[in-house]
Amino acid sequence: QVQLKETGPDLVQLTQTLSITCTVSGFSLTTYNVHWVRQPPGKGLEWMGAMWNGGGTDYNSAFKSRLSISRDTSKSQVFLKMNSLQTDDTAKYFCARHGATRVYDYWGQGVMVTVSS
Partner 1 sequence: DVQMTQSPYNLAASPGESVSINCKASKSISKYLAWYQQKPGKANKLLIYDGSTLQSGIPSRFSGSGSGTDFTLTIRSLEPEDFGLYYCQQHNEYPYTFGAGTKLELK
The footprint of partner 1 (CB under 8 A) covers: 35, 43-47, 50, 58, 60-62, 94, 96, 101-109
- 21's enclosing H/E stretch is strand 18-25
Compute the least distance from the CB of residue 37 to partner 1, in Å.
Answer: 8
Q: What angle do CA 45, 84, 104 make, to 5 degrees?
A: 25
Residue 3 vs 13, nearer CB to partner 1: 3
Residue 57 vs 76, nearer CB to partner 1: 57
Compute the least distance from the CB of residue 16 to partner 1, in Å.
Answer: 25
With contact defined as beta carbons under 8 Å apart, do 21 and 108 qualify?
Answer: no
3-class SS at 112? strand
3-class SS at 8? coil
Residue 29 vs 50, nearer CB to partner 1: 50
